[in-house]
Structure formats: structure tokens, C-alpha cells
Amino acid sequence: MHRSEPPLLALHEVTRRYKSPRESLLARAPHIDALSGVSLALYAGRSLGVVGESGSGKSTLARIAMALEPPSTGRVEFLGRDVNALPERELREARRDFQMVFQDPYGSLDPRMTVARIVAEPLQQDSAGQRERAVSEALEAVGLRASDAAKYPHEFSGGQRQRIAIARALITRPRLIVADEPVSALDVSVQAQVLNLLIELQQRYGVTYLLISHDLAVVDHVCDEVVVMQHGRIVERGETAAIFRAPQHACTRALIAAHEGEPVAASATVASRSDERDERDEPDDPEELR
Ligand code: ADP
Ligand code: MG
């Protein structure tokens, strides 16, 4: 751990309040505290998982961590700098180090754009030649072919689309990738492939993840530490293995119990290296298993 360097990402007492629709004209406008007093620090090489039931504030945390929206109160820092106080140009520059992968590999890729344009999107300042080279490298890094650059998203399976989204995130060689439920929309067998890719990229490019999932097992494969969220608050945190072994909070125990018996990515990760793979859901495209 490089404690001499500031954390890649730090949240200090972050709160995010949303107005919710008024139930009647006489009622006061109600609100939802999607995040309440959330503090965390994420260091290079120490990937952090965020788990919690649906509605616990995970996606809000992801958007705030990426400075896609500001917190209502509190501070968000990239490498020690308050991102919501950065001038636009510096924020754009800082974003090269911080990229995001979303849950839905269908909705997150513009169907009218070629893969080349989608993947090169974070490189707008670079020359055409630089972009083309970077796209080929990024596609190959995620297990696709350089020639896939000329195709459109609809020509790919769900897992391959998520690889395209990961290539787009990887293209600036970011230090941090925030991935919000990156495998939840995929078939179980494909989940394992994509998780293995995330692990490989972590080792190969030294990328650190903030990995969000409702599934503790997914986080266990990729992350050193985990925070458990409930109703917008962090209710438990620690080393992933320790949390798994001895969960303290009822919410954490419920997440572990909910998961038992399910054919989830954790078992699929192992299964993907064994003969069991054939018994699982076929990916849309056999190339998935290349
Ligand atoms: P999760 O990703 O853990 O399922 P979210 O961060 O999406 O949780 O949502 C947390 C809470 O905040 C939910 O109650 C949700 O309805 C609410 N929420 C999220 N975004 C908005 C928004 N833009 N406007 C109003 N409420 C929101
Ligand atoms: Mg969410």
C-alpha cells in the first residue's frame, strides 16, 4: 500500500438528498437521503467492493465518486483534490484517471456509433492515429479483435458488449475504474468470464476498482476490502475475506444468506475452468468462451 500518496478516491461525510414526488398538495415535499455520512478512502492497488440491497445507495455512491453529480454535503477527492471545486478543464483531465463501467451493456453503448467511436470517446483530444492505435490495443486487452472496431454494438452478445464498455474505460489507462453492477445483467457463465477479465486487467495494468454489486461473492473475487451499505449508510466494512468469514451486521448476514444456493458468479468462476461450464447458460455467442 502506498500510504505516502493520497488515496485515489476519498469521500468525506458525503450526503446525497433527493426530493421525492409530493404525495399530496398539503404534504411537505418528502425527501430521500440516498447517502448519509458516507466516508471512505480507496488506495491504489486495494480494490474496494460496495455491496448492499437494492435501493441502499450504491449507484448514487458511484455517480458521486465519478463526479457525475455533486454531493448535497461533504467532499469528494481524487488524489487529494476536491473534484467538485476543480475547473472544468482540470476535471476533464482528472477524468482520464477515473473511468466508469455501467451495469447495462445494452443501454450504455450508443447503437448508432461504431465500436471504434465508442471506445475512443474518452480520447477526444488525441490525434486520429493515436486514437486508432489505442482502440486496437484496448480491444485486444479485453479479448476482442482490432477488426471489431468497425462493427456496431448490436453485432455483439451481452458479455462482449460489456467487454467493449471495459475497453472504453481502459483506453485512458485509468488508475481507478468504478464499475456499477458490471456483471449483473449477464448470464452466469458469462459473468465469470467478465469477472476474470477484470481480475486480469487489475494485474496487468495495475487498475484499482470500486466495484459495486448486490452480490458479495462477485466482490470477493476482485476486491481486497468491502463496505456494506444499508439505507444510504455504511453499516460494515473490512477485509473481504474477514467479512465473509464473520459478518457482524444483520444486513451482511442477510446478503450472504440470500446468496447461498444460488448459481452465482463465484461458483461460475471456478466452474468456467472446469467441465461444468457446458451445463450452464450458453452465451449469445460461442466466441464468448474464447
Ligand atoms: P442502489 O444502486 O443501491 O439500488 P440507488 O443509489 O439507485 O440504490 O438509490 C438509492 C435511493 O435513492 C433509492 O431510494 C432511490 O429511489 C433514490 N434515488 C436515486 N436516484 C434518485 C434521483 N435521481 N431522484 C430521486 N431519488 C433517487
Ligand atoms: Mg444501483
For residue 58, the CA-to-ligand 2 centroid distance in Å is 5
Check residue 252 and give its pLDDT: 94
Per-residue model confidence as pLDDT tens digits over 51-62: 999 999 999 999
Which ligand approaches the C-alpha of residue 20 most closely?
A: 1
The answer to whether 242 and 235 have CB atoms below 8 angstroms apart is no
Check residue 287 and give its pLDDT: 46
Residues with CB under 5 A from ligand 2 (ion): 58-59
Q: Best of 16, 18, 233 to mutate for ligand 1, by most ligand atoms within 8 A of CB?
A: 18
Per-residue model confidence as pLDDT tens digits over 180-190: 999 999 998 89
Measured CA to CA in angstroms, residue 103 lies from 43, 45, 91, 164 at distances of 24, 23, 24, 13
Per-residue model confidence as pLDDT tens digits over 201-260: 999 999 999 999 998 889 999 999 999 999 999 999 999 999 989 999 999 999 888 877
Check residue 27 and give its pLDDT: 74
Q: Is the pLDDT of residue 28 over 80?
A: no
Per-residue model confidence as pLDDT tens digits over 62-118: 999 999 999 999 999 999 999 999 999 999 889 999 999 998 888 889 999 999 999
Burial of 245 (0-12, 13-18, 19+ CB in 10 A): exposed
Q: How confident is the model at residue 262 (pLDDT cuts 50, 70, 90)?
A: low
For residue 247, the CA-to-ligand 2 centroid distance in Å is 22
Contact residues of ligand 1, CB 6 A cut-off? 18, 20, 32, 34, 52, 54-60
- Write the residue with the smallest CA distance to atom 18 of ligand 1: 34
Q: For a pLDDT cut of 70, what percent of the chain falls above it?
A: 88
Spatial CB neighbours of 241, under 8 Å, sequence gap ≥ 6: 220
The pTM (predicted TM-score) of the whole model is: 0.87
Q: What is the rounded distance in angstroms from the CA atom of residue 202 to the CA atom of residue 218?
A: 15
For residue 60, the CA-to-ligand 1 centroid distance in Å is 6
Q: Best of 11, 17, 19, 32 to mutate for ligand 1, by most ligand atoms within 8 A of CB?
A: 32
The answer to whether 167 and 198 have CB atoms below 8 angstroms apart is no
For residue 269, the CA-to-ligand 2 centroid distance in Å is 23
